[in-house]
Amino acid sequence: MRVLPLLALTAVVLLAHDALLRTAPAPINPALPNRAQPFNTRAIAPAPTALEQAPATATPIETAVATHAEATTVAAPPPSGEARGAARRHARSSPRAAAPAASPGLHGNSTRAVAQPPDDAMASITSAGATEPAPAAGTPASLATQAPAAPAQGLHAAAFKVAAPVRLLYEVHADVRGLALDARAELLWRHDDNAYDARLDLTLPLVGTRTQTSVGHITAAGLAPTRFSDKARSELAAHFERAPDGVGGKIIFSANTPTALLLAGAQDRLSVFLQLGAMLAGAPDQYHSGTTINLQIVGPRDADIWQFTVGDMEQLHLPIGDLEAVSLTRNPKREFDSKVEIWLAPSMGYLPVRIRLTQANGDSFDQRLRVSESPQ
């Protein structure tokens, strides 16, 4: 009889559990995430503002500048086809001015930014290389292009006689910063009735060769240069652009220094020695001791008025032998100008047989003739 109550109790418990299980939530269906995926995709669609920012890295100019920055940034998901179309439309409508400005150091100002090595002994030894300071970088163009002071009285060009073509070889002794240096120089002088060509090569052992050239015309007023060049590590040139009527003009420098006005009788730093000789050869009686000659002298970067004072006839002891020569001196007029001394020998058509250059720092360079021969 006791078994029946236990069975009845067991049946009640089973019925209670069954009722409880029927009222619990249904098991999670694995397929539900597939049905919810479209809803999730719509919920995280990119905002419209993100599409407007895409062209910031889409324009070619900005892309080139931002390449390095993009390399360190986590890439975003690629935009949809509609977003790419909007980006292209926005890129076409964006002004070019939005691109970052180029750095000045990448263009014209880079030359000033990189310091150039100072002129070495080879540069200074050059007979026509009495370098003068170029206009400062901040000098206004209007000041740099003003005409230099008009040549003072003493410029004689009424008569001149050009020396015959020749090749002159020189010994060069230099005293640079207390060091004694020896070099060789060669001046090649050629011309016909209408044009001339001059070339000076200076060779310094273990350093190299510096070359200056001057080409131009032979006129009633003497030599009229059209181009002067100076080449050591690189070449610099000055171009003489004369007015159609032959009066006035301008001088243009490849070094991008300000243009200078071209004055009557202008010479370059090589032709000046030959022009002075032609002037004295044409009218030697006009150039007595104390006479001054003023010429506009053009270098590779600038132009200035040089004044030469005629000295006495001297007896020189040179490697080629003893020669009589008249001296001409250009004394410095500014702190950093160089002193230039020239000796022209009447027996050699007033060609330069000796040239001595003394710089403001005391360095000196003495170029003395050793051989004169016919040009090949």
Q: Dig out the tokens for 281 from the structure.
A: 């050869």
The answer as to whether 36 is a domain residue is no
Domain CATH for 215: 2.40.360
- Please state, in angstroms and rounded to a whole number, the distance separating the CA atoms of residues 97 and 142: 31
The answer as to whether 11 is a domain residue is no
The answer as to whether 108 is a domain residue is no
When pLDDT is cut at 50, 70 and 90, the band that residue 207 belongs to is: confident
Q: Which region, left, alpha or beta, applies to residue 246 given φ > 0 means left and ψ of -120 to 50 means alpha?
A: left
- Residue closest to 375 by CA, chosen among 125, 128, 163, 122: 163
pTM over cut 0.75: no
The answer as to whether 228 is a domain residue is yes
List, for residues 341-360, the tens digit of each pLDDT value.
999 999 999 999 999 999 99
Structurally, how many domains does the chain consist of?
1
Task: Tell me which DSSP letter residue 28 carries.
Answer: P
CB-CB contact of 293 with 276 (8 Å): yes
The answer as to whether 362 is a domain residue is yes
Q: Nearest 5°: phi and psi at 153?
A: -65, 145
Q: What does 82-145 look like in DSSP terms, one character per residue?
A: HHHHHHHHHHHHS-GGGSPPPPGGGTTTHHHHSPPPPP-HHHHHSTT----PPPPTT--HHHHT
Q: Nearest 5°: phi and psi at 264?
A: -60, 135
Q: Nearest 5°: phi and psi at 102?
A: -70, 145
- Please state, in angstroms and rounded to a whole number, the distance separating the CA atoms of residues 73 and 59: 18
With pLDDT > 70 as the criterion, what percentage of the chain qualifies?
Answer: 58
List, for residues 249-288, the tens digit of each pLDDT value.
999 999 999 999 999 999 999 999 999 999 999 999 999 9
Q: Residue 290 is part of which domain span?
A: 121-130+148-373
Higher pLDDT, 66 or 173: 173
When pLDDT is cut at 50, 70 and 90, the band that residue 223 belongs to is: very high
